Structure 1
């Protein structure tokens, strides 16, 4: 106090030192302390800390001062089940949009209205490539920030995350799915040269490009007419690597009998661990090469250039042909590797017969029977 008084006389605007100190041991066994100018303030803090320790909701007041970027790196380093592509995408969003905004902020100082203003900027300002971010990209950027702050909550740095209950931009769904007929699919395959079988696998089995390029001979069962899908290739910055399939949904997909026999030719002279589909020079196929050199020219040869068909959109063709053949929603879900049947219905529900007339006819029959019975009773 004497030093403070001397400093005060010299013109210092520093607040007087606290006269009351609250000391306690946190759950980690370390000594903690806070100083207060007045006794009631110290007593209130003591009671609050005691209550939180008793309830198990205690948080070290200093932990909320952690910088967002430190928590972000902890979160990113803890990712275990995500694939290379997903982790690379998270890294890009962190480095380009999330950390530049929040990096030096203390996690306890971030408020809901701050996040809301940031979302508005993401929607309106140009992104790193000079164009506005699409609704899906804005939402994913927001989700990444939210996952970082969720870690801050779980690690007891803050009580609640400000990344909740925000209005997110609406994604305009692409209703222009391309559904090829059997004849169109066969024409497309004919135009693909030596890779015609790969086009048919995409169009009849509905598996993703990354999954199809990773099929090994040993996972093709010609007797049961099944392809076992357990891996895919990911291309991150030009480096191909085998990894688990999306959503970790390992599955078996069916093959038409005639097509299974045609695939058998690709297995000749290959071992079980060899790739079924390979590049002309050997090794795995790369999407860009396949698309530019084989698929897009085949689309033009087949007369389908105006449909906007891509290798990925052949999944829609596979779904539509399966549904037309009588497949139920669970079969289509398994073929496509969707996480749930609800997702399959959201995308392809309109392709199944709505059966509304059947319901109306059944209701008519029930009502007619009831009216007939009522007439007899009245008579």
Structure 2
């Protein structure tokens, strides 16, 4: 039995009546030839109608080939909205951390669904996604969302993951693939020098309220900023650091957990890459950390407010860090707590650390990621390498007789 065939609609009384009425009204009559086929579930489907039989036969061949190759897709499956598929996709993501799940939820609600939610999958095209990516970066007064490169990439990434999930059943390919994405500019990185780090740490440790009292985290601010700037810890890794994870004698810290904001609550989970790591502590930071470690229970938080509560990034950034930046006369640089991580990378590279050392310190998944972000900071050592190779060659070949004519 044929899987697809061309049907002559003149065999139907209903069709002939429709043709007669169209001619009487001087309208174009409906197309004569219809393609029908059995889908993989055995149901009869329509593959469209055509005025000319060769066009119908061409469509018949296309459907037969797709059924034979296993690439068949029910056209109706691509009519489902992006919003419906996004919700189904998110419900299946039981493989990710709760904080990542909420991050995806936020990106969908803020950027993806307002633009694409009501559209059927079949109406989402590569060039339209490229326009959307550009609009995300435009200033708000120009109709954009004023997102930076990283947030733009995250928003596109979520849309792409949803669309990829729809391949191959509902879409032949992911229309988000190949869309040009922005790269973080050097302007998004802020690199402090040693003097600036010291100024910021001192200012943070000296903060006072308008009533002359020390701020909630002033007692830990100095050590916290120095640790961020010289170890490259993410803020929430430092905030979740327990006393028992610091070995001041060996001058190292074991990073095993991090804090995350989940539905406005602080939860503890594994680090971003899912792997623990050990980072070195500068000898000069040992006296800064010792008062926060000595004599305290191993499960105590190293960095806590005066009332013993965890230091939460959202509050600390606004109430403490921003004030310290201003007091240290570093405002106007776009400095944020996370950019102290960039400072740590730049200072390590300037001190001679190679890419694998920086990767291990920062906890990047790959050295490629480290090079993508900080490759421009590594010195150009081509001449140095060439000279070293030449010295090795000279020593290795010194005992060989010189060749004639050389």
Which runs of 5 or more residues in structure 1 are unaligned? Answer: none
| Counterpart position of 1:101 | 115
Alpha carbons 2:252, 2:279 under 8 Å: kept: yes
Distance 1:309 1:197 in 2: 18
Alpha carbons 2:242, 2:300 under 8 Å: kept: yes
Alpha carbons 1:60, 1:157 under 8 Å: kept: yes
Alpha carbons 2:150, 2:184 under 8 Å: kept: yes
Q: Counterpart of 2:112 in 1: which secondary structure?
A: helix
| Counterpart position of 1:179 | 192
Q: What is the deviation of 1:151?
A: 1.5
TM-score when normalising by structure 2: 0.73
| Counterpart position of 2:3 | none
1:228-239 matches, within 5 Å, as 228-235=254-261, 238-239=264-265
Q: Counterpart of 1:290 in 2: which secondary structure?
A: helix
| Counterpart position of 1:151 | 165
Q: CA deviation digits over 1:210-257, x for unaligned, max 9? A: 110011223223454322212222235643222332233431111234
Flag the 1:289–1:158 CA change in 2: closer, same or farther, 3 A. closer
Q: What is the deviation of 1:280?
A: 1.7
Alignment length (residue pairs): 374
Distance 1:137 1:298 in 2: 26
Q: CA deviation digits over 1:6-46, x for unaligned, max 9? A: 556566979769887745351xx453433766887776666
Q: What is the deviation of 1:292?
A: 3.9
Alpha carbons 1:225, 1:256 under 8 Å: kept: yes
The one of 139, 162, 168 aligned to 2:175: 162
Distance 2:28 2:139 in 1: 42
Please tell me whether residue 216 in structure 1 is matched to residue 230 in structure 2: no
Distance 1:277 1:104 in 2: 46
Distance 1:264 1:49 in 2: 73
Q: What is the deviation of 1:201?
A: 1.7
1:300-311 matches, within 5 Å, as 302=328, 304=330, 309-311=335-337
Alpha carbons 2:102, 2:263 under 8 Å: kept: no
Alpha carbons 2:252, 2:280 under 8 Å: kept: yes
Flag the 1:175–1:311 CA change in 2: closer, same or farther, 3 A. closer
Distance 2:47 2:392 in 1: 80
1:192-211 matches, within 5 Å, as 192=205, 193-195=218-220, 196-211=222-237
Q: What is the deviation of 1:306?
A: 6.7
Q: Counterpart of 2:368 in 1: which secondary structure?
A: helix
Which runs of 5 or more residues in structure 2 are unaligned? Answer: 1-11, 206-217
Flag the 1:356–1:165 CA change in 2: closer, same or farther, 3 A. closer
Q: Counterpart of 2:273 in 1: which secondary structure?
A: helix
Q: What is the deviation of 1:341?
A: 1.7
Flag the 1:84–1:15 CA change in 2: closer, same or farther, 3 A. farther
Distance 1:273 1:120 in 2: 47
Q: Counterpart of 2:279 in 1: which secondary structure?
A: strand
1:39-78 matches, within 5 Å, as 47-78=61-92
Flag the 1:4–1:109 CA change in 2: closer, same or farther, 3 A. same
Q: CA deviation digits over 1:274-323, x for unaligned, max 9? A: 32211222221112432344334444555655765443232233234433
Please tell me whether residue 79 in structure 1 is matched to residue 93 in structure 2: yes
Please tell me whether residue 34 in structure 1 is matched to residue 46 in structure 2: yes
Alpha carbons 1:67, 1:105 under 8 Å: kept: yes
Q: Counterpart of 1:75 in 2: which secondary structure?
A: helix
Alpha carbons 1:18, 1:36 under 8 Å: kept: no
Q: What is the deviation of 1:130?
A: 7.1
Flag the 1:187–1:84 CA change in 2: closer, same or farther, 3 A. same
Flag the 1:90–1:377 CA change in 2: closer, same or farther, 3 A. same
Alpha carbons 2:35, 2:60 under 8 Å: kept: no
Distance 2:272 2:167 in 1: 28
Distance 1:31 1:295 in 2: 65
Alpha carbons 2:137, 2:147 under 8 Å: kept: yes
Which shows bigger deviation, 36-45 or 229-238? 36-45
Tell me: higher relative CO, structure 1 or 2? Use CA pairs within 8 A at least 6 residues apart. Answer: 1
Distance 2:135 2:379 in 1: 44
Cα RMSD, aligned residues only: 4.1
| Counterpart position of 1:323 | 349
Q: CA deviation digits over 1:172-220, x for unaligned, max 9? A: 3327632321x55445434414112222221222101111001122322
